[in-house]
A and B are shown apart, each in its own frame.
Chain A
Amino acid sequence: MSELPEQPQSPSPSEVKRVLEAALLASQDAMSTGELRKLFEQELDHALIRRLLDELREDWAGRGIELVQVSSGWRFRTTADVQPYLDRLKNEKPAKYSRAVLETLAIIAYRQPVTRGDIEDIRGVAVSPGIIKALEGRGWIDSVGYREVPGRPALYATTRRFLDDLGLRTLAELPPLAELQKVMEFNDAR
């Protein structure tokens, strides 16, 4: 301690937790543990922050608001069971995507990066520009480059926001592909 005389006294864990809670509630975006550490003058341990965030999540359990960890960090959201009530205050119903949009999204999510042509090969039909626009508009996919073939088609991938909005931390948390087993069997049979 004598080597760091300017170092103010470390806040107690419960104080840190209160600050984390206030910061996360006041934030309009998810906050990573790195950002949360900036709240404090002292260098707080990542593990401590993690532990306190877990505690905070426990503290909020059972309420109409929950703390979740998503791809971009930690964020409060309403729980699924209260949402139907909150929806009554809204004029419009939540967006329901067509099968075409959902299948396109699934192909981009599981096979990324893919071109429009790749998507068409898998679905067996043309992809209308409206589908791509809808997904881009939602901020769920974006163009991450071009395939270096004639025409230089855009390569699409899912965004961090897609993971955030679905409450996922990584793509690895996507549901496993159901028919994967069958593909293996088929390849084995051949």
Chain B
Amino acid sequence: MSGEALIAEPVPAEKAAPPARLYGEALEKLPLDLYIPPDALEVFLDAFQGPLDLLLYLIRKANVDILDIPMAPLTAQYLVYVEAMRSQRLELAAEYLLMAAMLLEIKSRMLLPRPPREAADEGEDPRAELVRRLIEYEQMKAAALALDAIPRIQREHEWVGVQVAERLVEIQPNVSATDLQLAWLALMRRADMTRHHKVTREALSVREFMSGILRRLHEEGDLRFDQLFEVGAPAAQMVVNFLAVLELARENLIELLQLEAFAPIYVRTARTAAVAEPV
């Protein structure tokens, strides 16, 4: 590991560091850069997004000006990493090798003396293209972090939308409580009519009801008018029953008594003496 330090002035603390042994080999000095155990190279590589990312890391680590990169140490250090990767027989992405070639080319061009006519040309720094790419990439790296820091939906926020039931189903015709009521009443009417037919089939006659009322009055004594009617009985039955009461009264077989207006009406069997008594 003879990677030259990019740092121009070595950090004093590192000078004082005692020698160490690593994998049985003596380390003459502590690695100036991040030490990567060979087994961890793959992990290390994963940490970088590519050669530009690795180069930026080396430059930032050495704290040198990106606009005045010391090409020789940077190239040497970069090659150390690439060489380490190759020795581990990692399948090295082609981009890393391409970058190595580019660094070597820039380095050699800087070593060559410039022809006089080119000296006047300001734009011919061999590093220019590399620097441009490094800056642009670094800019986008920072932008990526900035973008990620913006609060976003499904992480810091969720959209709020009140569930309107109408959206979930096809829009159906409106049904109001009144509509329901009307439908029910119509149904009841039909039901009553069918029941009425049943009643006639059972031959419920007024006469039969008249007998029934008389029998009850005979057995139970006087009754209140409403006691003659069975709660919940079909309407037709009620009507026939009512007709029976009227018929009985008309025939003077029963008496209907009411002491005063709105007082309960009482029904009793007719007394012979009271035949002429008006209702």
Contact = CB atoms under 8 A, between A and B. Distances in A.
A76 B153 CA distance: 11
B93 interface: yes
Given A26-B164, A103-B140, A165-B152, A77 B147 contact: no
Interface stretch (B11-19, B45-53, B237-245): B45-53
A98 B269 CA distance: 101
B226 interface: no
Contact of A102 (B51, B145, B158, B164): B145
A190 B125 contact: yes
B150 to A, nearest CB: 5
B173 interface: no
Range for the number of chain B residues in contact with chain A: 35 or more
Given A26-B161, A190-B125, A122 B140 contact: yes
Nearest to A80: B156
A157 to B, nearest CB: 15
A185 B158 contact: no
Interface of B: 49-53, 66-67, 93, 95, 99, 122-123, 125, 128, 131-133, 135-162, 164, 167
Q: Which 3 pairs between the two chains have the least Cβ-Cβ distance? A: A125-B50, A124-B52, A175-B146
Given A99-B49, A164-B153, 4 more contacts: A77-B153, A105-B147, A122-B133, A123-B52
25 contacts: A25-B162, A75-B159, A76-B159, A78-B158, A80-B156, A99-B49, A100-B49, A103-B49, A109-B143, A121-B133, A122-B140, A123-B52, A123-B137, A124-B99, A125-B49, A165-B154, A168-B150, A174-B147, A175-B149, A177-B139, A178-B143, A179-B142, A182-B67, A186-B132, A190-B125
